[in-house]
Amino acid sequence: MSVSVIMTCHNEERFIEQAVRSVQAQTAYDKVAEILVVDDGSTDGSRALLESLRVEIPKLEIIPATGVGLPAARNLALARSRGELIAILDGDDFWVPEKLERQLPAFALSSEVGLVYSDFCDFTQDDMSDAQLIPVRVYHVSHNLPLAEYFVHDAPIIPSTIIVRREVFDTVGPFDAEMRLGEDTEMFLRIAERWHFEHVPSGLTFKRRHGGNLTASLERLVPVGEVQAKRVVERNPSMKPLAAKFLSRRYASAGNDCVKQGRRRDGIRYLRKALAKNPFAWRIYAYLAVAVMPGWLESAARRSFWALKRLFRRDGRQATPRGEVERNEVVSSPPNKTARRRC
């Protein structure tokens, strides 16, 4: 099956070459029909860099845009794509070389598999010295449709890890171009109503965290979550009893994030809203305990919290502690060189 790789770029001169090279370095590169990069009004050197890469990489195509935003940029690439499968890669992330090779066979499990995803490695430092594996919730085609569980628990599935059947977009539509945040989760919820997800273990994508990330502040996702919940319930009235748990998780995440930023009063306000939606969630009580304790105790409390969370993971998989993840071959700067890193 042929793959169209869809990428977006807005002022990502520092990262975009690494992202493109990581596609070129795929062990299943012969399956890649095209690499479509939407340059969404970049004002740095991104466009010139992409033009130089296009001379070297025949499969690379640049689609110009004028600041239309991430979901609309993805839709532009979708409309131009011709592959049977669509793989998304954000311009500031990159893949390990075996990413496509590991994920593509999952589509052969069933024609009902619409979306294949994996775990990912989260990092902030350019040398990836702080890279940490993020194991995500597991969904398989052998399970029921994932809507209810995904709605309540999320995964978290991030776009740069996914491959989607083209016909999925024919059934659920494109990304909502009006949503500048949370458009990926909104799309995944629509997919989960009709298609099965399939998880492939291992950190096959490296997710870069930096100040320019749209989701740097989880508080910004609260109103987005409220819209998402309303839409899901409108399409699926049976989900209404679960909407409170969905919103509770959003409020709790925002509250915890506010506390980490030193905004304890705002954090406690969100955590109280979370409790009102779901008073039986132990996580919220843990967040509240951290929010009211002295600052010098906070870091130790957070370490203990995450240790307990790993211990009691509901999906039954043992989370891999930082620094004990399998070695992956990753594309690093300068281009055309590889280095082994632990994530």
The Cα 60–Cα 47 span in angstroms is 13
Q: DSSP string covering 58-105, please?
A: TTEEEEEESS--HHHHHHHHHHH---SEEEEEETT-EE-TTHHHHHGG
Q: How far apart are the first and last CA of the chain?
A: 30
- Kindly tell me if the per-residue pLDDT of 124 is higher than 60: yes
Q: Is 164 helix (H, G, I), strand (E, B) or coil?
A: strand
Confidence class of residue 310 from pLDDT cuts 50, 70 and 90?
Answer: low
Reported for 128-134, long-range contacts at CB under 8 A and 24+ positions apart, including other chains, are 128/206, 128/330, 128/332, 128/341, 128/343, 131/206, 131/341, 131/342, 131/343, 132/322, 132/343, 133/203, 133/319, 133/320, 133/322, 133/325, 133/343, 134/203, 134/207
Percent of the chain with pLDDT strictly greater than 70: 84
Q: Give residue 294's pLDDT.
A: 72
- Cβ pair 19, 50 in contact under 8 A: no
6 has which bridge partners?
36, 88
Q: Any idea which of 3-7, 110-114, 253-257, 320-324 has the lowest mean pLDDT?
A: 320-324
Q: What are phi and psi of 32, to 5 degrees?
A: -80, 115
Q: Which amino acid is located at 220 in the chain? A: R
Residue 14 has pLDDT above 50, yes or no: yes
- Give me the pLDDT at residue 339, please: 37
Q: Which two tokens stand for residue 222?
A: 């609260």
**pLDDT tens, position by position, 73-84:** 999 999 999 999
3-state secondary structure of 196: strand
Q: How does pLDDT run across 195-248, given as a tens digit for each residue?
A: 999 999 999 999 998 765 555 577 888 999 999 999 999 999 999 999 999 999
Neighbouring-strand partners of residue 203 = 119
- 338 has pLDDT over 80: no
